[in-house]
A and B are shown apart, each in its own frame.
Chain A
Amino acid sequence: MLLLLQTALELGLISSLTVLALFLSYSMLNVCDLSTDGCFTLGATVGAVVALSGHPYLAILAAMGAGILSGFITALLQTKMGISSLLSGIIVNTALYSVNIGIMGNASVLNMNKTETVFTKMKGLLAGSFLAGQYKLAVILLAVILVAVFLYFFLKTRLGLAIRATGNNPDMVRSSSINPAFTTIVGLCVANAFTGLSGCLMAQAQKSVNIDIGSGMVTVALASLLIGQSFFQKGRIGGKMIGVIIGSFLFRLVYTIALSFNMPAYLLKAISSVIVVIAISGPYLKQQLPNLIRKWRSGNAGRNPGKEEI
């Protein structure tokens, strides 16, 4: 059970970086960034290749840099080239598949079993202390805290406020001397840097990358985000951010527990899809329900004779 909890915590916290990325792009900027899958994999492959060449720390920066580049292109397509935001995400995602295979040297799997990573570095650092067994968690926690604190203060700056306003009321932004193209570009670059970091840590934690590491990540992260937001609906930004991190952990926890009850692992993506559907359409259906009941009742009570039901 404890092991289960730990796995859930590790995986949940690593994906919480992607969830924080979506918190910025989806909740704040109101852009559903569908390049997330590809960008996650991009972070993983770039991080793996750089780590394999013997630079574990540089791998982190390279993965984030690659994420920024990917976010920049996605943002450029939707702000300057007249492509809708959903489509630009899909286009970049598709292109990233080729890019990722290319980065891995025309392979679809890379093994990092004997590679020095930030995790092995931390393992060496903590060897002998009482935290020795938790070296993975230590690295991940550090990353999540750094990213969360950065994002918290970033959203408080004028640029952060402008990004939030862009997502909240683009009409107002355009008439108030802020260039919405600029805020969208910055927002997506920052968000995708987090996604890249998330992928990089995931690859290094499981000591391997395959081309499918990020597939369905956007739905998994969205499910976590929505779970987290349902707990912290009215809080301020800080509370909401903690909420989505907890949401990410909860999602993985439920999933890991289900796995221990012999649920087949391949169901993860279907479950996350169902969660996203429930979380998004739930409030809508709840609102519609009274009308549906009314319609049903009146339909039963006062049918017009002679009129065909359509």
Chain B
Amino acid sequence: MLDIQHISKTFYPGTVNEKKAITDLSLHVEKGDFISIIGANGAGKSTLFNCIAGVFLTDSGTIMLDGEDITMVPEYIRSRKIGRIFQNPVLGTAPDMSIGENLALACGKGGWLSTVSKKEKLAFREKLASLDMCLEDRMDHPVGLLSGGQRQVIALIMSTYNPPSLLMLDEHTAALDPATSEKVLTLTQDIVAENQLTCLMITHNMQSALSLGNRTLMMDQGNIIYDVKGPEREKTTVSDLMTLFKERSGKALDNDRMLLEK
């Protein structure tokens, strides 16, 4: 499904600001995997996502998706197979366009010169109604008027409207309040389960890192330092993770948010 072989990425090479963000990282993801990724700030989690999505090209190594070599493929072409949600709800939707228009962009059926049909509009409505958030009556409202949580839900619906081969969630609930965060997370699980999506999720919440999905990765200094799945993962607790991190990286996992949320 997704096969990453020995990729590296260094920012500002040869300068005083040189930063080795990813160092010789390899990862194989099976179809249907739901992988949570944890690690301190600057561990390379988001860089890994950006490498996979093609925001920038890697310095070395190969990335294969669905048996296709996408190492040098530009971002917008990869986006046909990869859905992404970011931490900042503002990034996933066009604020001055209506909910309907945003969804029309995402559904992407028909040619460039086609318009949105009545049937499609009805489908959008049904999809929104199923969320039970009263969004279906606000199809003509600009997305910019919605709350962060609502925008994130729209972004989630948009990036999974045509189920992608790979869904990447970069702390997509971190900017939301606890109740909304819970709701978005539940919706994410439902959508992933319903479409049997392969999913990578960065999170700072150690509990959900263990409770969601079927595999957990821990990253530090641009590489994966711990990879757990199956029965072993079921036995792992949050404090195990903390101890493990200290052992393997030689320092405590001193991220405030992680500590608060454990």
- Per-residue contact bits, chain B 146-187, to A (CB 8 Å; 1 contact, 0 not): 000000000000110000000000000000000000000000
Find out whether the CB atom of A176 lies under 8 angstroms from the CB atom of B96.
no
Complexed CA–CA distance, A263 and B28 (Å): 75
Complexed CA–CA distance, A178 and B76 (Å): 6
Does A214 interact with chain B (Cβ within 8 Å)?
A: no
Complexed CA–CA distance, A172 and B97 (Å): 12
Instruction: Tell me the interface secondary structure of chain B in the complex.
Output: loop
Find out whether the CB atom of A175 lies under 8 angstroms from the CB atom of B75.
yes
Does A157 interact with chain B (Cβ within 8 Å)?
A: yes
Find out whether the CB atom of B115 lies under 8 angstroms from the CB atom of A157.
yes
Find out whether the CB atom of B104 lies under 8 angstroms from the CB atom of A161.
yes
Of the candidates A164, A168, A171, the one having the most CB atoms from chain B within 10 angstroms of its own CB is A168
State whether A168 and B94 are in contact (beta carbons under 8 Å apart), knowing that A176-B105, A178-B76 are contacts in the complex: yes
Complexed CA–CA distance, A175 and B50 (Å): 10
Count of CB-CB pairs between chains A and B under 8 Å:
75
Does A179 interact with chain B (Cβ within 8 Å)?
A: yes
Find out whether the CB atom of A158 lies under 8 angstroms from the CB atom of B111.
yes
- Residues in A whose Cβ lies below 8 Å from that of B79: 174-178
Find out whether the CB atom of A161 lies under 8 angstroms from the CB atom of B84.
no
- Per-residue contact bits, chain B 102-116, to A (CB 8 Å; 1 contact, 0 not): 101110101111111
Find out whether the CB atom of B93 lies under 8 angstroms from the CB atom of A158.
no
Please report which residues of chain A, range 139-180, place their CB below 8 angstroms from some CB of chain B when the two chains form the complex.
153, 156-159, 161-162, 164-165, 168-169, 171-172, 174-180
Complexed CA–CA distance, A162 and B111 (Å): 12
- Residues in A whose Cβ lies below 8 Å from that of B106: 176
- Residues in B whose Cβ lies below 8 Å from that of A158: 104-105, 108, 110-116
Find out whether the CB atom of A180 lies under 8 angstroms from the CB atom of B112.
no
> Shortest distance in angstroms between B160's beta carbon and chain A's nearest beta carbon?
12
- Residues in B whose Cβ lies below 8 Å from that of A177: 76-77, 79-80, 108
> Shortest distance in angstroms between B152's beta carbon and chain A's nearest beta carbon?
13
Please report which residues of chain A, range 19-76, place their CB below 8 angstroms from some CB of chain B when the two chains form the complex.
none
Complexed CA–CA distance, A153 and B79 (Å): 27
State whether A169 and B93 are in contact (beta carbons under 8 Å apart), knowing that A174-B76, A177-B79, A177-B80 are contacts in the complex: yes
Nearest neighbor of A165 in chain B, beta-carbon distance: B94
Q: Which of B55, B77, B101, B159 contacts A161 (CB 8 A)?
A: B101
Complexed CA–CA distance, A168 and B77 (Å): 20
A-B contact pairs, 29 of them (CB 8 A): A158-B111, A158-B112, A158-B114, A159-B113, A161-B97, A161-B104, A162-B105, A162-B112, A164-B94, A168-B94, A169-B90, A169-B91, A169-B95, A172-B92, A172-B94, A174-B55, A174-B75, A174-B76, A175-B84, A175-B91, A175-B92, A175-B159, A176-B79, A176-B105, A176-B159, A177-B79, A177-B108, A178-B105, A180-B76
Cβ-closest 4 pairs across A and B: A177-B79, A159-B112, A168-B94, A179-B76
* Extra 18 A-B pairs, beta carbons < 8 Å, given A169-B90, A169-B91: A156-B116, A157-B113, A157-B115, A158-B104, A158-B105, A158-B115, A162-B105, A164-B96, A164-B101, A165-B105, A168-B97, A174-B75, A174-B76, A175-B92, A177-B79, A178-B76, A178-B105, A179-B74
